[in-house]
Amino acid sequence: MPRYKAARNCEFKPWLTAKPGKTGSGRFNQIDNSWYLSKAVCALSGNAYKLYHSMAIESGGKPFVEFSHKTAAKYGIAKNTFDRARDELVKSGFIEMRPDENMYRYRSNIYRFIEAWKMDGDQISIPQNGDT
């Protein structure tokens, strides 16, 4: 018996899925509202923002993701756009590349999500229920 129940046949809001009805593809992305409101995230370009979301979806909640130009193309991200957005995410401290020890073997790059982008003073206060 699996330790965690898989999210199958979840009901999605109709505007949050491209499939007819209320079922999704079985994959979903869970990101906290504070991430969206963070100053560091708001400073990202649109392409870097889209790439980060694409990587988060492909990772399936794991801290590592194998991501290639071909995978980026699946999300509508061109090769040059991918390279620029990836460099921006690395420079901003959102991801880091994990180098492959064997440089003669072709393999998609493996990236790790990191938290270097979080800075002191970047905390956003979000009103709770009943707070104004």
Residue 71: which CATH number?
A: 1.10.10.10
82 falls within a domain: yes
Contact between 47 and 76 (Cβ < 8 Å): no
Decide: pTM greater than 0.85. no
17 falls within a domain: no
132 pLDDT exceeds 50?
A: no
The candidate with the shortest Cα–Cα distance to 52, out of 17, 93, 12, 9, is 93
89 falls within a domain: yes
11 falls within a domain: no
66 falls within a domain: yes
Give how many domains the chain has, as a whole number.
1
The rounded radius of gyration (Å) of the Cα atoms in the chain is 17
Reported as a single tens digit per residue, the pLDDT across 17-53 is 777 766 666 666 777 788 888 899 999 999 999 999 9
- Residues 59, 23: Cα–Cα separation, whole Å: 21
106 falls within a domain: yes
> What are the start-end ranges of the E strands in 54-128?
64-67, 95-98, 109-113
126 pLDDT exceeds 50?
A: no
Range of the domain at 107: 39-113
**pLDDT at residue 25, as a whole number:** 63
